[in-house]
């Protein structure tokens, strides 16, 4: 039954780009940074993660990583959210980020 379920097409109806990519750092560092026990630690983890998104090309790489992951999971439809507020906070050009 599990094998059958794996073959079915899937939909991802709510996924945040900034929370879906894996920075290129050692697993132990990821585990430490992503160990959240409350909202304050989640926000610190989120800020650390988005610190790797420094230019539009970084967003493009994150999107490609996410799409590749979704395909491996059999996702055929996804609604991906980009946090425009984070892009503006980082003083990046929103149009360039979307184009990447």
* Number of domains comprising the chain: 1
Q: Which residues span the domain enclosing 19?
A: 10-99
Nearest to 91 by CA among 41, 63, 54: 54
Is residue 1 one of the residues assigned to a domain? no
The whole-model pTM stands at 0.83
Each residue of 74-93: pLDDT tens digit? 999 999 999 999 999 999 99
Please report the pLDDT score of residue 58 as a whole number: 94
Is residue 2 one of the residues assigned to a domain? no
Each residue of 34-60: pLDDT tens digit? 788 899 998 988 898 899 999 999 999
């Amino acid at each position: 039954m599990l094998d059958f379920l794996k073959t079915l097409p899937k939909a991802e109806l709510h996924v945040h780009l900034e929370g879906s990519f894996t920075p290129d750092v050692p697993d132990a560092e990821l585990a430490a940074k992503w160990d959240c026990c409350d909202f304050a630690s989640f926000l610190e983890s989120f800020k650390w993660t988005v610190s790797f998104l420094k230019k539009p090309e970084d967003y493009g790489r994150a999107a490609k990583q996410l799409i590749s992951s979704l395909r491996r999971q059999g996702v055929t439809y996804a609604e991906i959210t980009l946090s425009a507020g984070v892009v503006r906070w980082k003083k990046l050009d929103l149009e360039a980020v979307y184009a990447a």
